[in-house]
Chains A and B, each alone.
Chain A
């Protein structure tokens, strides 16, 4: 199946710094990628839809200036958490529709655990 790689898998940073998380589709092109946030023992909440070559679409309540998304190529989307604060600590996961979207499934990265001190 298709592979989505996410990096870093975990990161610890000081409050006020910015953190960049990368999501790559390794063996297929992804014009669209999705970014989710997951709190412990909870489900995934869609934050934004990343579109190659255009602006991301953010879900209601998600600050676009706080969570910057750049989808510069067909295989890479990045999420930058700017001026991170402890409340931004969470598990961030990206996904992309498979190359054969008629199959309907999403392929997920392994997630990035962010801890803001």
Chain B
């Protein structure tokens, strides 16, 4: 069953603006990960945040995790047209890749 739920489902912004996507989940996790998928392609791992971490940065990406609310957010700063893609959160219970659950994804469109 799909545990991670992203919102919004679709987001359209202008180049240079920040994009924020949220993810909620239901059960306990070992870590939460964000992936990106360009249209018709495979998924690319962006960032992983462990259950004992609250915030993590990677370049223009900032991820937060609130385990008490079972939610996470992905912030992309200074967006570019090349950031246009679908973004998925995935919860990992820490079972060596098994029982990964992907959310429905947020389709981000960055307009030039």
A-B contacts at CB below 8 angstroms, number: 63
Q: Are B45 and A44 in contact (CB under 8 A)?
A: no
Closest beta carbon of chain A to B41's beta carbon, Å: 6
CA distance A18 to B33 in the complex (A): 35
State in angstroms the CA–CA spacing of A109 and B14 once bound together: 30
Range of interface residues on A (Cβ < 8 Å): 20 to 34
Contacts of A34 in B (CB 8 A): 97-98, 100
Q: Is the CB of B48 within 8 A of A93?
A: no
**How many chain B residues have a CB neighbour from A under 8 Å?**
26
Q: Report which of B44, B45, B97, B103 forms a contact with A101, defined as CB distance below 8 A.
A: B97
Interface pairs (9), CB distance under 8 Å:
A32-B96, A34-B100, A42-B104, A42-B105, A45-B2, A97-B96, A104-B30, A108-B35, A108-B44
Q: Could you list which residues of chain A lie within 8 angstroms of chain B, going by C-beta atoms?
A: 1, 4, 6, 32, 34, 41-46, 49, 91, 93, 95-97, 101, 103-111, 113
